[in-house]
Every structure is written in C-alpha cells, then in structure tokens.
Chain A
Amino acid sequence: MDHFPGTWGRPRNDVYGAYDPSYLQSTGPKTHTSSPAVTGTSVVGVVFNGGVVIATDNLASLTPSFLLPLRTASYGSLARFTDTKRLRVFGDQAVVGFGGDVSDMQYIDRLLESIDIRENYSSHGNTLNAKNLHTYLAKVFYKRRSEFNPLWNHVLVAGFDSAGKPFLSSADLLGTTFSAPHLATGFGAHLAVPILRRLFPEERPVEEISQEEAVEALKQCMKVLFYRDARSTDKYSIAVITKDKIDLKEDEQLEKQSWAFAEKIKGYGRQTV
C-alpha cells in the first residue's frame, strides 16, 4: 500500500522515473476550458440550385485529460462515441453542423432550443433564418473567446437568408466567420475542400449545380475523409435543405469503399520501403 495520496494515480516512480510535477499545475489561471476533450471532426457543406446540403460523420473522439499536456498526433484519437449526431435542425429552414467539442455542442444546442421556444411563443411569421442564426452563433463564439472561455467548436450553418437565397457560412471558436458556396471544417478543410473545388470550380454558377450532384459530391468527400482522417468513421449524417423541407438522414453508411490504394502507400507501419 502506498501511503502517500499525492502519488496515487500517477505512474510509479520506480518504473517510470520521478514524476515530473510540471504537469500538475498548482498556480496560474484555470486552463481546463481552453482545450477540447471529446471532439467531432469535419463538417462539409455545399450550396446547390435551390438549397444546401450538409454532412458530418457520427464519431466523437476522446482525448483523455491526462494526455492533454502531451497531446500529439496519435494520442487523443480514441474513437469513443460512434453514434454522435452532429447535425442540428433549427426551425424548418436551417441546419447547424458541429465540429469540435461535443459538450460545447450540447451547450449550444440548449441555447438554440431556448431561442426556438421563445421564437415560437409569439410572432406569427417571424422566424429566425439560417443567416440570423449564423450571426447569433458568431456573436456567442466571439463573446466566449473574449472571456478566455471559448466554446471549442467550428460550425457550419446551412439554410436560407431573408431574401430566400441558399445560405452556407461558417463560424469558429474565435468568432471568425467565413462564407463560400462550399465549406468544410477541421480535417475536411484540407481534404474535402480541394475535391469540392475541383467539382464546383468558381466559374461554375451555383444555379448549374443540381441537388443530386451536390449530395454525390458530399458522399465522395465523406469517403475520402474516412480513408484519410484517423478520427472519422464510416457512419455519417446528411441533411438536404430545400425550400419545402429538410431531409435529414442520421444513419447513413459509406458505400463502395475500396482500400486498394492502401497497398501502394509506403513508409508507414510495419511496411518497409
């Protein structure tokens, strides 16, 4: 029995060497709010003629708190929750896709819930559209980052603006906003955006892009993300927002996977070049 509670729960000194107390913060400001714990990865969205389509996978990865100080590429990728739904429908014209911290997503979900209730109490015909929602979320993020207590998310808001035009815009944990006809957060910003730029180049007007084409493009993006993003899974949610309805599917499965390309990848794992 180790009679020194101060050493409980720590790697044994006789096995691992003396414990480095610098990992245990005893002074200074609180820092546990400034890094995420359970996180979702990419959100991808595309505007098409008459609507927007948005997708996320259903995974939430865990970064165990004791690993936070040594966060490296391989730690913190525990695929902990495999049915985390990260698309949130707001009203009947908007969807928010969440990347980043899951508990912060749940907090924002409660904020949106209370706004939705307030909006529905009164005012026949006065509803918040996706653009209003995006403005609001960006302000919330900016307020929280200014308090040094950020909500660790990067969201895409999809829907329509007040003129009835399809709307897609992002807001991140700093309150930065960005808008484009196709957008992706997290790893998707590196892996999905190039695909979307190839399929929907700038000179191609949004009016030419059909719903089927946009959905197909997102499926392709989700597949590439699953191939190459260690923190993603093959189950995903996808929402198609059009004037008359939101078609949300939360239990989609990636189809026609082919890992043949993996054979040719050299330089990793047990394989020798």
Chain B
Amino acid sequence: MFRNNYDNDAVTFSPQGRIFQVEYAQEAVKQGSVVVGLVNKTHAVLVGLKRNAEELSSYQKKLIEIDSHMAIAIAGLASDARVLSNFMKQQSLGSKMTYGRPIPVERVVNQIADRAQTNTQHYGKRPYGVGLLVAGVDDAGPHLFEFQPSGMIQEMVACAIGARSQMARTYLERNLDQFADCSRDQLINHGLRALKETLSQDKELTVDNTSVGVVGLAPEGSKARIESFKLYEGQETLPLLEALERSESSGTMEEESMEVDS
C-alpha cells in the first residue's frame, strides 16, 4: 500500500518540496465555516457564517474582538484561534500600557505570523489549524490582513477563507472596484452578499447564523478618531439582513438580479 512518508512531522520536506503537515493544517482552514472580510477607505468589515454542531447546541463564535480598534474572524480550529487571539489581546494591551497607543495592525499580525512560522520549523510542534482575517484601524487607516497556518500573511482589500469560500472570492473579485468608495452600510452589504454566495441550496442567512463586525475611522468632525469595533449578532443583524434583502430585490447595487429575464 502507498503511504506518505513525509507527513509525520511539520519539519520534513517531501522530495517535491512540500511540507504536508502545513498543507493538512491549511485543509483544516478549508473545512471551517466561511468568513469574509473587506475594506473601503474608512472601514473594515468582517462577516462570518456560524455553524452549530447539532440542533441543540449553540453556534460557534466566528468573530473575536481583540481591542476596540481590531478584531479577527476565524476559520478552522476555534481552540487554536483562541490561543492566537489571547496572544493578540496581550500584545494589544501591552502596547496600550507601555506607549499609550493602540497597537498598529501590521505589527500584531507580524507577531502571530512569526509564531505560526516557528511551529513549522521545530520538531514536535504542529502548525495552527486556523486561518484568520484580521481587520483593524490605526494611524494609516483601515486594514485587512489574511493569516494562514503556514505563517503567511498578506494585506488584502477583500478576502474570504473557509468552506466554499471560492464563491465569495469570485463575488469579491467581480465587485472589487466598488469597494473603495462605497459607504459603511454598502460595505457591510457587499460582505453579506459575498457570504450568501457560499451557501448551499438549502441554506440561508438568518439572525442566528450570521455575524457582522465593523471597525473604522470616525466620521469627520466627531470627537473620537476611530469608530470602535462593533459586533452585530442575533437580533442586531436583522436590519442588516433586511437591507441585504431590499438591495437584492431592487437590484440597486449591481445588475445581478436582472437575470430573471433571460
């Protein structure tokens, strides 16, 4: 029988130059339920599809607030995400304590990337089985970063990870040029639309399975510099879902709903 000899640990390359344990970890991300993130000039939005393990259980949390200026969306092993998010919370608190400054998003993303990379290079360790979308604001404006178990990080305008996320990415790519200048509400709407694309036939977005998170720069002339992270869950998502429905039936945002004619 064929057996892969190069996947016993995360430190051994296969002769083809692959590290199987890292690829398996990335597979765990693909099995996680989908999360979508996108930014415009003022805001960063995260939306996630929550899953419940069984009918009687609660839904697994998808968005975690790190600090008032930053949050993550997770796809993959939630327990690994907790470890990473606790670390990010510590770093963020540390920056506030020593410098009185919210930590720059790129800084903390680099720190988790370094941690994740270490796991792929030391014998006896395993990679994190979780992918993250990190959204936040700092002096340089709103940011969205993608994080993978390999330790790879990338700044993105829009991104989706998790099960069936390809559908969402296709939507994001198609509508990319609308994001930068759209409003906060439109950005949320785009996020929800991308999320909806990933649903299988028999599923739909409900107040129970949808999470939305928004963080951004405060509007001109307001006292605070940033609009703190706001998490919408449960009944709070109702207006957002209704707005999604309205925009789809009126087709205001793009040509998509015109296809009924064909």
Please, which residues of chain A bring their CB within 8 A of the CB of B138?
123, 125-126
Instruction: Give the complex CA separation of A124 and B141 in angstroms.
Output: 10
Contact mask B98-110 → A, CB, 8 Å, 1/0? 1111001011001
| Chain A nearest Cβ from B224, distance in angstroms | 11
Interface residue ranges of B85-111 to A (CB < 8 Å): 97-101, 104, 106-107, 110
Please, which residues of chain A bring their CB within 8 A of the CB of B98?
135-136, 139
Instruction: Let me know if B140 is at the binding interface, CB within 8 A.
Output: yes
Instruction: Let me know if A210 is at the binding interface, CB within 8 A.
Output: no
Contact mask B155-198 → A, CB, 8 Å, 1/0? 00000000000000000000000000000000000000000000
Interface residue ranges of A1-43 to B (CB < 8 Å): none
Contact-residue bracket for chain B: 10 to 19
Instruction: Give the complex CA separation of A163 and B225 in angstroms.
Output: 9
| Residue from B99, B101, B139 within 8 A of A125 (CB atoms) | B139
| Residue from B100, B139, B225 within 8 A of A126 (CB atoms) | B139
B99 (CB) vs chain A CBs: closest residue: A132
Contacting pair B99 A126 (CB below 8 A): no
Interface residue ranges of A130-149 to B (CB < 8 Å): 131-133, 135-136, 139
Contacting pair A162 B225 (CB below 8 A): yes
Contact mask B109-126 → A, CB, 8 Å, 1/0? 010000000000000000
Instruction: Let me know if A220 is at the binding interface, CB within 8 A.
Output: no
Contacting pair A123 B100 (CB below 8 A): no
Instruction: Give the complex CA separation of A115 and B81 in angstroms.
Output: 29
| Chain A nearest Cβ from B112, distance in angstroms | 14
Interface residue ranges of A83-135 to B (CB < 8 Å): 122-128, 131-133, 135
Instruction: Give the complex CA separation of A164 and B100 in angstroms.
Output: 15
| Residue from A123, A162, A163 within 8 A of B140 (CB atoms) | A123
B101 (CB) vs chain A CBs: closest residue: A132
| Chain A nearest Cβ from B69, distance in angstroms | 12
Please name 23 pairs of A and B residues whose Cβ atoms are closer than 8 Å in the assembled complex, sorted by A. Answer: A122-B106, A123-B106, A123-B139, A123-B140, A124-B140, A125-B141, A126-B104, A126-B106, A126-B138, A126-B139, A126-B140, A127-B139, A128-B99, A131-B100, A132-B100, A132-B101, A135-B99, A135-B101, A136-B98, A136-B99, A139-B98, A162-B101, A162-B225
Interface residues of chain A, those whose CB is within 8 Å of chain B, are 122-128, 131-133, 135-136, 139, 162-163
Known: A123-B140, A132-B99. 13 other contacts (CB 8 A): A123-B107, A124-B140, A125-B139, A125-B141, A126-B106, A126-B107, A126-B140, A128-B99, A132-B100, A136-B98, A139-B98, A162-B101, A162-B225
